[in-house]
Structure formats: C-alpha cells, structure tokens
Amino acid sequence: MTSPEQDFQPAASADPSSPPTDGAAPTAEQRLVELEARHTEVADAYLRAKAEAENTRRRAEEEISKARKYAIESFAESMLPVRDSLEAAIAMPDAKVEQVLEGVHATLRQLTAALERNKVIAIAPPSGTKFDPHQHQAISVVPADQDANTVVTVLQKGYLISDRVLRPALVTVAAPK
C-alpha cells in the first residue's frame, strides 16, 4: 500500500514557469521547496506594499496637519502692513485731523486689498436688489417705493470667502404693498 504523499502527482500545468529539470514530473519535495520560495517572495512583496501604504498614509496625514497649521499664514502676512499702518498712526499723537483721516483711508485701502487677495469679498447689495436669504439678513421690513422683497438699505456689509458666506449683509427690505 502506498502513502498519500507517494500518490500525489502534481499536474504538469500546475506551475508552467518552472518546467521539470530532467523531463520527469517534479517530486513532492521539489514542489514544496518551489512553493515555499514563492510564498516567501509573495510574503515579502506583501510586507513591502503594506509598509509603502503605511508610509504614504503617514505622509498624507503630516501634510494635512501642516496645511491646517499654516492655512492662515498668507492671510496673516497680508494683514501685517495694516497693523504697521495702525501702529504708525498711534505713534503720531499730535497729527492733524486731515493727516489722521488720510492715514485711515490709506489703511482701509490696505485692508481691502489684503482681504481681496485672500478672496474675502464684501456683500453690499445696491438698493432695489432682490433679497437673497443666503447672503442677506433682513433686520426690518419698511414701506418703500420699490418692489416687495428688495433691499432698501444696507446697514452693515456682509462678506464672502470664495463662495461661502462669512457674515450676511444686514439689510432693510421693502414691505409688500
């Protein structure tokens, strides 16, 4: 009677990449050695791929962390000249009203430019503009000689950053007739 190991004869097409060396079918021991070598190669490739994926994930997390940490760097940098101008104004306590007013206008221009560079845009709808609840906040409804649900006056500008509302414009709205 033969043992199960002796009865096992792998098919000739089981591993076409390694043809038998002497024309005979490989023995079970040879086949086992080949499979163990292949297993070692596959296990090594798996571990390398797993390590690469982990390194990529770690690098991505670090980049996200840095992006969050330094996201306002550009904005803060553009605000520094505005602060410098305000400090210069404070350093001149004996300045004439005209000089102070000129400095305030220059500082406002700096601030406006800094906000625009950082995609912060004012919401200041002209009178008669249709009321938009996404960008406007109605403070009161007033009788007016214009269409209902249109802006009558802007009490305080609102601001957008890109397309997102930072603060809605505070407006009065025309009452229905």
Left (φ > 0), alpha (ψ -120 to 50) or beta: where does 86 sit?
A: alpha
- pLDDT value at position 13? 46
Mean pLDDT of 89-106: 92
Average pLDDT over residues 124-138: 95
- Average pLDDT over every residue of 33-59: 96
Tell me the average pLDDT across 130-151.
95
Ranked by mean pLDDT, the top range of 20-24, 64-68, 77-81 is 77-81
Q: Counting beta carbons within 10 angstroms of the beta carbon of residue 24, is it exposed (0 to 12), middle (13 to 18) or buried (19 or more)?
A: exposed
- pLDDT at 12 > cutoff 50: no
Residue 11 has pLDDT above 60, yes or no: no
pLDDT of residue 25: 80
Say yes or no to pLDDT of 77 above 80: yes
In angstroms, rounded to a whole number, what is the distance separating the alpha carbons of residues 174 and 143? 6
Spatial CA neighbour of 168 closest among 148, 145, 151: 151
Average pLDDT over residues 46-64: 96
Average of per-residue pLDDT across 9-18? 49
Instruction: Report if pTM > 0.75.
Output: no
Pair type for strands 120-123 and 169-174: unpaired
Give the mean pLDDT of 124-142: 95
Average pLDDT over residues 142-162: 94
What pLDDT, on the 0 to 100 scale, is given for residue 102? 94
Least confident of 19-33, 70-84, 89-103, 151-165: 19-33
> Which pLDDT belongs to residue 68?
86
